[in-house]
Chains A and B, each alone.
Chain A
Amino acid sequence: MSATVQSRLHLPVPETKNDAGLRRSGYRRRERVYQWLFLAPAVAYLVLFFGFPVVKNVAMSFQDYTTGTFYTGEAPWVGFSNYVTVLSSSLFSTSLINTALFTAGSIAGQFVLGLGLAVFFKRKFPLNGILRSLLLLPWLLPLIVSSAVWRWILDKDSGALNNFLESFGIISTGIPWLTSTSLALAAVVGVNIWIGIPFNVTVLYGGLQDIPDELYEAASLDGATGWRAFRHVTWPMLRPVVSVVLVLGVVYTLKVLDIILGLTNGGPANSTQTIATQSYALSFQNFKFGEGAAMGNILVLISLVFAVLYLRVNRRAVDE
């Protein structure tokens, strides 16, 4: 009776306290130390390269952080005034709407085209492998290079796209792709779709490879081929991969900066200004580092919502 109570309360039982037990507890402690040592590089890395910038950025957004701060180190605390300035600026709503449209448009386009191409490449045909690897090209080019090339392609007067359309008689005067307030955002979305397709194709193609062929054979015996096979076999089996692709895509797209800077620099008349470009302009062009940090944190918060969503989706996929 007394022995069971003791063991239930995890009290040291005198009988077991022998040499072997001592050695085991010493071994366990050492094991603990090793576990921490193995964790240390990862923890150090996270603290240095993720923790510090995040904390610094949050602190900065509550400070009057100017160019002078870099030399003197003085940055007075100003409470929420940076957030108030940023949120009450007339440009904020424009940037927010543009960010939403840019993200939604890019994701929709990338996903639909990416899925279409992934399904297409699942068939066996000559040069499949070569074509599929060529598809990765947009991913391999530096963004600054691709945006410079696209800026030329989309030029109103001497751009390749307008010349092409004109030579087929589709249009008679050049379309101002990047200089019209109604078209610029669509053009930028188009370029971002082109850049995002390789990622979508690669991940979705991988997901398609995991669907067993037997399922299609069984479905075809039941009369489900073509579209019905896609609807009832491919789509349900691909669901977990799809959610991951979409959520990751949103997080990657929200923060896109270089493509927009390279193509339009936020113009014309702020029609391609997003929260990311606004944050960049505030910090590095107007030297208002506090306001830039506040804008950046708003973007981080929006991304965080989707990141949490991603983790939940991922967990469910694992549970399934």
Chain B
Amino acid sequence: MKSAFTKPKAVAVTITALAALPLILSGCGASPAPGGGGSVSELSVVDYYNNEPDKTIIGDTLAACGSQAGVTIKRETVPGKSLIAKVLQQASSKTLPDVLMLDNPDLQQIAGTGALAPLTDFKISTDNYPEGILSAGTYKDKVYGLAPTVNTIALFYNKDLLDQAGVTAPKTWDELKAAAAKLTSGGQYGLAFDANATYEGTWQFLPFMWSNGGDEKNIATAETAEALQLWTDLVKSGSVSSSALNWTQADVNDQFIAGKAAMMVNGPWQIPTLDKQAALHYGVVNIPVKDSSKTAVGPLGGEVWTVPQTGNKARQAKAAEVVACMNSDENQLAMAKARNTIPSKSTLAAQFAGENPKLASFTELVKTARARTGQLGEDWPAQATKIFTAIQTALTDKANPADALKQAQQG
């Protein structure tokens, strides 16, 4: 009798232990990072530079800034697409890292939750940053994030193809249409851009919309309709492949490299890939504007560094030191050069453009570049969705540009 009972008892104990396992495990996972004041020897950092060469460049700069502040850096890189999900999860379990990198259009969304500390609390200087860059890092009049380097988009052109066709790089919309038409023949398109159903499509359209006086607050305007009409004309005339509706910016770059597009709208981060093609000779100019009376306005890209509210003042102060160091003049110049981006501070622009002639036109563009969230803040994602919806509706001929924008604006 006794021996018959010991076996099930052992099983029962095991089962109870197993059933409790998830609870025990989740208990362990949720335990917050060690708190308390005193000396800080280690800082946790989360960013999305998970590809080379950016991973090493950022990692080395972080490590150097860490040792300057007297701490070691424990860094975690996550894929870009999962960063926000990770940050939200960490915010709810109160396990935010000491230093957090965010893509600039996401900053206001996260700052709005109250999870970030204003950088002015730590006396970090925001002098010499252009208006656009500061507005991307600002939420309700306080600066929460600073970007060491920024970027924007411009028009890349294939010098050989343009020379063969006897075309010069276009400056106005009419010139762009004429050049694109002339450069289109056989399997080659005049121009490639990204009009896909994501924020990337919106981002590529913004310079056309903004330089013509369009505004993201209300897209159902004549100015924005003119810009969308330009894109529609380019696709309908066959100068741009209708595949643009499903291309990413990387696809656009591939088309350009393969010689299937003579011009493209893209950013400086493609330069390393382009430079690997020995046979490819390319130039970069501003994205064409409607007529010479208009000035080019690009969208501002780049990642900002922030100090989350971890509740530990000593750690936050050290984290602020690291963020300040990441944004120092030397580090801005070094990272910009290594990553083919542009240093944020306007005081560094002239020196940088002189040393890196390939990035000169981008350096010029960044000065006037506008932040996507500058006006709308947390409401930007909804409006950005409306913009790419309108683009897709017009390019697939479901409605003319003006109607497509009106429908999208009404939601």
Contacts and interface: CB of A to CB of B under 8 A. Distances in A.
Interface in B201-260: 241-246, 258, 260
Classify chain A's interface size. 35 or more
24 contacts: A34-B12, A40-B15, A44-B19, A67-B88, A67-B112, A68-B112, A69-B113, A71-B91, A71-B113, A151-B246, A156-B242, A157-B241, A176-B242, A180-B242, A181-B398, A265-B196, A265-B198, A266-B197, A268-B246, A268-B396, A269-B396, A270-B392, A281-B385, A287-B109
A89 interface: yes
Interface of B: 8, 12, 15-16, 18-19, 22, 84-85, 88-89, 91-92, 109-110, 112-115, 187, 189, 196-199, 241-246, 258, 260, 378, 381-382, 385, 389, 392-393, 395-396, 398, 407, 411
A179 interface: yes
A158 B112 contact: no
A285 interface: yes
A86 B93 CA distance: 29
Interface string A78-106: 00000000000110000000000000000
A274 to B, nearest CB: 13
Contacts of B114: 68, 71-72
Nearest to B116: A71
A172 interface: no
Nearest to A23: B1
A286 B244 CA distance: 23
* Residue of A67, A156, A269 with highest tally of chain B CB at under 10 A: A269
Q: Say what secondary structure dominates the interface of chain B.
A: helix
A155 B246 CA distance: 9
Given A265-B196, A266-B197, A269-B393, A90 B109 contact: no
Contact of B110 (A67, A271, A284): A67
A77 B258 CA distance: 54
B243 A179 contact: yes
B197 A265 contact: yes
* Residue of A67, A281, A286, A288 with highest tally of chain B CB at under 10 A: A67
B113 A67 contact: yes
Nearest to A284: B85
B199 to A, nearest CB: 8
Contacts of B245: 178-179, 267-268
B243 A155 contact: yes
B233 to A, nearest CB: 17
Given A40-B16, A268-B392, A285-B381, A178 B246 contact: yes
Contacts of A66: 113
Contacts of A151: 246
Given A40-B19, A285-B381, A179 B389 contact: no
Contacts of A67: 88, 109-110, 112-113, 378
Interface of A: 33-34, 37-38, 40-41, 44, 48, 66-73, 89-90, 151, 155-158, 176, 178-181, 264-271, 281, 284-288
A4 B396 CA distance: 85
A33 to B, nearest CB: 8
B393 to A, nearest CB: 5
A284 B245 CA distance: 22
A179 B246 contact: yes
Contacts of A285: 199, 381, 385
A284 B407 CA distance: 23
A269 B389 contact: yes
B381 A286 contact: yes
A72 B113 CA distance: 7
Given A156-B242, A179-B242, A268 B381 contact: no
Contacts of B88: 67, 70
B12 A37 contact: yes
A309 B150 CA distance: 56
Nearest to B197: A267
A281 B386 CA distance: 12
A70 B85 CA distance: 10
A158 B260 contact: yes
B354 to A, nearest CB: 40
A157 B112 contact: no
B392 A269 contact: yes
Given A157-B260, A158-B260, A265-B196, 15 more contacts: A34-B8, A40-B15, A67-B112, A70-B92, A71-B91, A155-B243, A157-B189, A181-B398, A267-B246, A268-B395, A270-B389, A271-B396, A285-B385, A286-B385, A288-B382
A240 to B, nearest CB: 35
A118 B16 CA distance: 45
Contacts of A267: 196-197, 245-246, 392
A70 B114 CA distance: 10
Nearest to A68: B113
A264 B197 contact: yes
B398 A156 contact: no
A48 B110 CA distance: 29
B197 A73 contact: no
A266 B258 CA distance: 27
Contacts of B196: 265, 267
Nearest to B22: A48
